């Protein structure tokens, strides 16, 4: 990337739209799991455009499906017309969701999907009260910023909903962290019960939660927490929304949806990112009575776009045809074993599932967040030819989310770079 392009970027784009690295890079070419920048340097990609390029790059089966639609000349019609691929994709997602009598509404992004879920829940329950998890992130729209439990991503204190935050999603710094799994779940559920009794008017619309918190540093509670919470929610008629924007489509390895680790079926799920493999697509799948609760007409200009729908159908086929859920499990286990064996004094915790791995960095000998080490790790891995992300409440967590097509050899290559970079920390 040239200094000229960086200067032009800073002149015309917002200061709050951050760039990675001391010397930001411009990606000009991509193939499989490799990216090439404008200087000709090639990198192994362990972040996948924030988990969005889930199949990797230049996948013929997906590119061909998109080109076939482009060849028709129909790039857009809007949802005011029948779109065959939209119906086919909705049928497949509804069936895979496990939600009874499910219906699907397509959007352009995860933010818009979560905004739609909030509007559905508050309308269905006739209440503006919402529960969210501490350390959560659900998007950058006005409604989703309002339910973000992470100060670093809360751009505004104004809100269209009344929000209360529940314990449980981020165990490493939880006041209940030292409890065994069952006791941890009991403590978080007791907190939920007390919150409902003391901080709400009772008629709460929904709880929205990420099975694994993405921007929050790939953190998650013990399996079973959300099943226990939903039992409380059901007693009060409160809806449960699972934000699957990052955890869907088999990325967690053990399950197709992240929430399935908790042995519970939510009332709604939101999705985006990996479904489009770079195309703009998101959506909500919900119980039919919830989806149909609006009394005003509505539509989506770009949601259900025929190009995005054809690409997404090809993505679902590719996941199934190549058993990528199993690949995520195998490659994730490979990476986590190697990272945990490193025993670096800077590593407080290696966590995650499948190809969603978080590495929490600390000041050696403490649990104090080490933001500087995370920043240095991004530079060290980049220098060695690997791109990763970072996040967490304190921006001290490495986020490792490669394409789901990652090979065993590429996992070993990336792992070695991560280990060499950890060894270089000062």
Nearest to 273 by CA among 55, 52, 90: 52
| DSSP 8-state assignment for residue 151 | G
| Domains by residue range for the chain, with CATH | 3-59+323-423 (3.90.1150.10), 64-321 (3.40.640.10)
Name the pTM for this structure.
0.96
CB 285 within 8 A of CB 101: no
Residue 218 backbone class (left: φ over 0; alpha: ψ -120 to 50; beta: rest): left
Name the β-bridge partners of 163.
130
pLDDT of residue 401: 98
Q: How far is CA 191 from CA 77, 109, 251, in A?
A: 48, 32, 30
Give the residue ranges of DSSP H helices in 177-224.
Answer: 181-198
CB 138 within 8 A of CB 208: yes
Q: What is the CA radius of gyration of the chain?
A: 21
Sheet holding 34-37, edge to edge: 27-31, 34-37, 42-45, 386-387
In the three-class reduction of DSSP (H, G, I as helix; E, B as strand; rest coil), residue 170 is classed as coil
Low-confidence residues in the chain, pLDDT < 50: 1
CA dist 372 and 384 (Å) reads 19
pLDDT of residue 1: 43
All residues at 6 or more sequence positions from 297 whose CB lies less than 8 Å from its CB, including other chains: none
pLDDT of residue 153: 87
pLDDT tens-digit profile of 39-79? 999 999 999 999 999 999 999 999 999 999 999 999 999 99
pLDDT tens-digit profile of 140-160? 999 999 999 998 888 888 899
């Amino acid at each position: 990337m040239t200094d000229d392009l960086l200067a032009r970027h800073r002149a015309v784009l917002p200061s709050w739209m951050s760039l990675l690295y001391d010397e930001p890079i411009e990606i000009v070419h991509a193939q499989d799991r490799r990216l090439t920048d404008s200087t000709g340097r090639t990198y192994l990609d362990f972040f996948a455009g924030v988990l969005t390029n889930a199949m990797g790059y230049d996948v013929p089966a997906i590119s061909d499906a998109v080109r076939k639609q482009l060849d028709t000349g129909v790039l857009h019609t809007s949802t005011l017309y029948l779109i065959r691929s939209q119906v086919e994709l909705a049928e497949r997602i509804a069936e895979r969701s496990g939600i009874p009598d499910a219906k699907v509404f397509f959007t352009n992004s995860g933010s818009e999907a979560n905004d739609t879920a909030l509007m559905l829940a508050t309308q269905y329950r006739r209440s503006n009260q919402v529960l969210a998890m501490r350390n959560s992130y659900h998007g950058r729209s006005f409604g989703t910023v309002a339910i973000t439990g992470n100060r670093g991503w809360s751009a505004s204190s104004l809100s269209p909903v009344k929000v209360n935050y529940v314990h449980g999603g981020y165990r490493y710094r939880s006041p209940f962290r030292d409890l065994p799994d069952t006791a941890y779940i009991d403590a978080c559920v007791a907190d939920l019960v007390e919150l409902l009794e003391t901080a709400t008017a009772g008629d709460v619309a929904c709880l929205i939660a990420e099975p694994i918190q993405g921007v929050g540093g790939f953190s998650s509670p013990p399996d079973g927490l959300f099943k226990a919470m939903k039992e409380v929610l059901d007693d009060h008629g409160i809806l449960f929304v699972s934000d699957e924007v990052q955890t869907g489509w088999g990325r967690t390895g053990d399950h197709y949806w992240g929430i399935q680790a908790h042995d519970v079926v939510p009332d709604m799920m939101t999705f985006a990112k990996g479904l489009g493999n770079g195309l703009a697509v998101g959506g909500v799948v919900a119980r039919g009575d919830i989806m149909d609760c609006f009394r005003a007409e509505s539509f989506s200009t770009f949601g259900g776009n025929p190009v995005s729908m054809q690409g997404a159908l090809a993505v679902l086929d590719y996941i199934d045809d190549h058993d990528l859920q199993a690949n995520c499990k195998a490659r994730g286990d490979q990476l986590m074993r190697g990272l945990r064996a490193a025993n670096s004094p800077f590593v407080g915790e290696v966590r995650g599932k499948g190809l969603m791995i978080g590495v929490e960095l600390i000041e050696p000998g403490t649990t104090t967040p080490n933001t500087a080490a995370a920043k240095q790790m991004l530079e060290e891995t980049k220098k060695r030819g690997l791109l990763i992300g970072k996040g967490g409440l304190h921006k001290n967590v490495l986020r490792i989310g490669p394409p789901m097509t990652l090979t065993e050899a590429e996992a070993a290559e990336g792992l070695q770079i991560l280990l060499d970079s950890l060894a270089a920390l000062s």
